[in-house]
C-alpha cells in the first residue's frame, strides 16, 4: 500500500516558539492532504485540507494564522504551529488520499509537547 | 449531512472472546464506510471498508457488513487476540471530496 511519512515523530518546544511538521507521500502523488489533531482518548478532528498550489481550507474554529499550512509539492505538505502554547500540545496526524481511490493513507503522527 | 455514532469504550475482553463494536450512520445516499485501527503509538491504518450497501468488508479476521436497513456497520471478530488491542474508528466521507469524519473511537484491550 501507499506510504505517508511524518517528521518529526515527536517534538518538545518552549512556549512561544514555532514548530514545523512535515507530511510526505513517499510513493504516490497527493494533490490533497489532510491535517488532523487528536486529543488524548479522543477521536481525530479535521483541522484543514491542504491543497497543492493553492491555499489550505480550514475547518471552522481552526486559526489559519496559527496553523500555517503549505503544500509545496505533490508529495509534501507542512504544518507550522506558530507561537506555540501548552494548549497546542497534541498528536497531529496527516493523511493523503490515493488518487482515484476512496482510500486515505495516514502518517504515523507527530506528538507535540509545548512546555 | 452524514454522521456516525460509534459505541464508546473502553472494551476489555479475554483472549478468544467475541468482539462487536457498534457503528450506526446517518447519510445521504450510500457512501463508502470504513473501519480504521490505531495501534499504540502508531498512526491510523485502514482495517476494512465497504463501498456500497450490503457489502461486507473483511480483514485480519474482522468483518463488517454495510446494512442499509439498520443503517449499521458493526465491526465483529469471532476470536480476539492480545495483538488486537488498539483503538478502532468507524469513519465515513465528510462534506468534501476524500474527507473523512471519524467516530469517537473505541479502545479495545484484550487480556491473556
| Chain centroid, CA B63 distance in Å | 9
Contact with chain B for residue A41, Cβ under 8 A: yes
Residue B96 has pLDDT above 60, yes or no: no
Q: Are residues B98 and A104, on separate chains, in Cβ contact within 8 Å? A: yes
Residue A92 has pLDDT above 70, yes or no: yes
Given pLDDT bands bounded at 50, 70 and 90, which one contains residue B65?
Answer: very high
pLDDT digits (tens, 9 = 90+) for A12-44: 999 999 999 999 999 888 989 999 998 877 778
| Chain centroid, CA A105 distance in Å | 13
Could you tell me if residue A44 is left (phi over 0), alpha (psi between -120 and 50 degrees) or otherwise beta? beta
pLDDT digits (tens, 9 = 90+) for A55-65: 999 999 999 99
What integer pLDDT is reported at residue A100 of this predicted model?
64
Given pLDDT bands bounded at 50, 70 and 90, which one contains residue B94?
Answer: low
Instruction: Cite the beta strand spans of chain A per DSSP E.
Output: 4-7, 10-13, 19-25, 32-38, 44-51, 57-58, 67-73, 76-81, 90-97, 104-106, 110-114
What integer pLDDT is reported at residue A79 of this predicted model?
97
What integer pLDDT is reported at residue B41 of this predicted model?
78
Are the beta carbons of B90 and B26 closer than 8 angstroms? no
Q: Of the candidates B46, B94, B97, which has its C-beta nearest A46's C-beta?
A: B94
What integer pLDDT is reported at residue B2 of this predicted model?
63
What integer pLDDT is reported at residue B102 of this predicted model?
86
Q: Are residues B105 and A107, on separate chains, in Cβ contact within 8 Å? A: no
CB atoms within 10 A of CB B28: 7
Name which of B10, B36, B1 is nearest B110 in CA terms. Answer: B10
CA–CA min distance B98, chain A (Å): 6
Distance in angstroms between the alpha carbons of the first and the last residue of chain B: 42
What integer pLDDT is reported at residue B5 of this predicted model?
87
Identify from A44, A95, A109 which residue to disrupt to test chain B contact, counting B C-beta atoms within 10 A and taking the largest count: A44
Distance in angstroms between the alpha carbons of the first and the last residue of chain A: 37
Mean pLDDT of chain A: 91
Residue A99 has pLDDT above 80, yes or no: no
Q: Are residues B42 and A49, on separate chains, in Cβ contact within 8 Å? A: no
CA distances in angstroms from B38 to A79, A94, B28, B44, B60, listed in the order given? 22, 14, 28, 5, 14
What integer pLDDT is reported at residue A18 of this predicted model?
97
What integer pLDDT is reported at residue B11 of this predicted model?
95
Which run of H or E residues covers position B25? strand B23-26
Chains A, B: CB pairs < 8 Å? 50
Q: Are residues B101 and A46, on separate chains, in Cβ contact within 8 Å? A: yes
Amino acid at each position: 500500500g501507499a506510504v505517508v511519512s511524518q517528521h518529526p515523530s515527536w517534538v518538545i518546544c518552549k512556549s512561544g516558539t514555532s514548530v514545523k511538521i512535515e507530511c510526505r507521500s513517499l510513493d504516490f502523488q497527493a494533490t490533497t492532504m489532510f491535517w488532523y489533531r487528536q486529543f488524548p482518548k479522543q477521536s481525530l478532528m479535521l483541522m484543514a485540507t491542504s491543497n497543492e498550489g493553492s491555499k489550505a481550507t480550514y475547518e471552522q474554529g481552526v486559526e489559519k494564522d496559527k496553523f500555517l499550512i503549505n503544500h509545496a509539492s505533490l508529495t509534501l505538505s507542512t504544518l507550522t504551529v506558530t507561537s506555540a502554547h501548552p494548549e497546542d500540545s497534541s498528536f497531529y496526524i496527516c493523511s493523503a488520499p490515493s488518487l482515484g481511490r476512496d482510500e486515505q493513507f495516514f502518517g504515523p503522527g507527530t506528538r507535540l509537547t509545548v512546555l | 449531512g452524514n454522521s456516525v455514532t460509534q459505541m464508546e469504550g473502553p472494551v476489555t475482553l479475554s483472549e478468544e472472546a467475541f468482539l462487536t463494536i457498534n457503528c450506526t450512520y446517518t447519510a445521504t445516499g450510500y457512501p463508502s464506510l470504513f473501519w480504521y485501527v490505531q495501534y499504540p503509538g502508531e498512526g491510523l491504518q485502514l482495517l476494512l471498508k465497504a463501498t456500497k450497501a450490503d457489502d461486507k468488508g473483511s480483514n485480519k479476521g474482522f468483518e463488517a457488513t454495510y446494512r442499509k436497513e439498520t443503517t449499521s456497520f458493526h465491526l465483529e471478530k469471532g476470536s480476539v487476540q492480545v495483538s488486537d488491542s488498539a483503538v478502532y474508528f468507524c469513519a465515513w466521507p465528510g462534506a468534501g471530496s476524500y474527507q473523512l469524519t471519524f467516530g469517537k473511537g473505541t479502545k479495545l484491550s484484550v487480556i491473556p
